[in-house]
A and B are shown apart, each in its own frame.
Chain A
């Protein structure tokens, strides 16, 4: 998995200068970040075992962030600290959906409280499809049913 020699290669036609937005992003302690090593910048590269992993920022320095990453060592999973320059980092979207959900729920709760109604906040699994009309194009509909079970010796 992480012993491929091309793990830090730049994608096709994306070599050379790194787009400057990478340098403008801001990382705070507690942010969740994805680690993705980049061959263009040799300083502060992540170790190959933390490539493609997601961790939490625990320290911010001038050019790098310290990240807590989970590493599986034989039978156990250790939370390890790595220092990685921020060219190899990007904000993880894993937390974003959760946070927007939380905000939305807070909104809904507020509105429901004002109106005095109760809102379903829990996530529901996808329900079966509702009854709906189907176009038949003047054809007779054929009823398909499973054959009732019969034990065949």
Chain B
């Protein structure tokens, strides 16, 4: 081994500029955050709500928050470990659970603002594309934007499961069906049945049956 120059010498550290703390910790994507939180200045104090979906190993957290200089304020949060308390049993991080959590979030949130029961959302689960329409003369549907955090937004991702749940529950979130399970990227067609099966947990049930048969 010849003489190798030390890269991290004193001069390096003197000139090194650290990244933001949350970026160093790997918790925040500032590129996305900046674009999610900036509010037009001529809208002054109007908060820009974002629905944050965080998938952990054992839980999925849906939060609706808005940005504040002192720190983000969470308006409403739901967790997948809540449905079991209400009697809905099953795996906590599968598509069905996540959809249910999104749905719960969408029903809990208008309560906070006193706009309960104005927007019922989609009553039957069809898996089809659904966008809430604001009713004239009533407060508009609650609008927020999906914040996937650091999750990779591939099709069939659980983040979109929560999104679908929230949208079906009556929140107004900009989205398209491209990333839902059931979308065929080759033929550019959205198969509603496949999506519905995922929401109902049919894919898990089918696999269980298959596994039981095998044995």
B30 adjacent to A20 (CB under 8 Å): yes
B-contact bits for A27-64, CB 8 A (1 contact / 0 none): 11000000000000000000000000000000011111
**Complex CA distance for A40 and B40, rounded to whole angstroms:** 20
Complexed CA–CA distance, A14 and B16 (Å): 10
- Find out whether the CB atom of B17 lies under 8 angstroms from the CB atom of A25: no
> Quick check: is B45 within 8 A (CB to CB) of the other chain?
yes
Tell me how far the C-beta of A43 lies from the nearest C-beta in chain B, rounded to whole angstroms: 13
Main secondary structure of the interface of B (DSSP, over half): loop
- The answer to whether A21 has its CB under 8 Å from any CB of chain B is yes
Judge if B123 is at the interface, Cβ distance under 8 Å: no
Contact between chains at A13 and B17 (CB < 8 Å)? yes
Contact check, A26 vs B30: say whether CB atoms are below 8 A apart. no
Q: A13-B15, A13-B17, A14-B17 are in contact. Are A20 and B33 (CB under 8 A)?
A: yes
* Contact indicator A86/B68 (Cβ below 8 Å): no
B86 sits at the interface (CB 8 A)? no
B100 to chain A, nearest CB (A): 33
CB-nearest residue of chain A relative to B43? A62
Which chain A residues lie closer than 8 Å to B20 at the CB level? 17, 19
Instruction: Please name the residue on chain B nearest to A20 by beta carbon.
Output: B34
- Do A17 and B69 have beta carbons less than 8 Å apart? no
Chain A residues with Cβ below 8 Å from B69 are: 21, 24-25
Interface positions of B from 13 to 41, Cβ below 8 Å from A: 15-17, 19-20, 30, 33-34, 37-38, 40-41
Whether A62 lies near B17 (C-beta < 8 A) is no
Is B207 interfacial (CB 8 A cutoff)?
no
Q: Is A65 an interface residue (CB 8 A)?
A: yes
Nearest Cβ in chain B — how far from A6, in angstroms? 17
Verify A62–B68 contact, CB threshold 8 A. no
Contacts of A65 in B (CB 8 A): 41
A21 CB contacts on chain B under 8 angstroms? 69
- The answer to whether A63 touches B41 (Cβ under 8 A) is yes
Residues on B with beta carbons closer than 8 Å to the beta carbon of A16: 17, 19
B57 interface residue (CB < 8 Å to A)? no
User: Is B17 a contact partner of A23 (Cβ separation < 8 A)?
Assistant: no
Kindly state whether residue B44 has any CB partner on chain A within 8 Å: yes
Give the residues in chain A near B56, CB-CB below 8 Å: none
Set of chain A residues within 8 Å of B40, measured between Cβ atoms: 62-63
Verify if A15 is at the interface (C-beta below 8 Å from B): yes
A15 with B41: CB separation less than 8 A? no
Could you tell me if B17 and A26 are in contact, using CB atoms closer than 8 angstroms?
A: no
On whether the beta carbons of B42 and A23 are closer than 8 Å, the reply is no
- B178 interfacial by beta-carbon distance below 8 Å: no
**A-B pairs with lowest CB-CB distance, top 8:** A62-B40, A13-B17, A24-B69, A23-B38, A60-B42, A60-B41, A17-B30, A26-B44
Task: Give A residues with C-beta under 8 Å from B.
Answer: 13-17, 19-21, 23-28, 60-65, 86
Task: Please give 19 more A-B residue pairs, beta carbons under 8 A apart, in addition to A17-B19, A19-B20.
Answer: A13-B15, A15-B17, A16-B17, A16-B19, A17-B34, A20-B37, A20-B67, A23-B34, A25-B69, A26-B45, A28-B44, A61-B41, A62-B40, A62-B42, A63-B40, A63-B41, A64-B41, A65-B41, A86-B41
Of the A-B pairs whose beta carbons lie under 8 Å apart in the complex, a sample of 16, sorted by A's number, is A13-B15, A14-B17, A15-B17, A16-B19, A20-B37, A20-B67, A23-B34, A24-B37, A24-B68, A26-B41, A26-B45, A60-B41, A60-B42, A62-B41, A62-B42, A63-B40
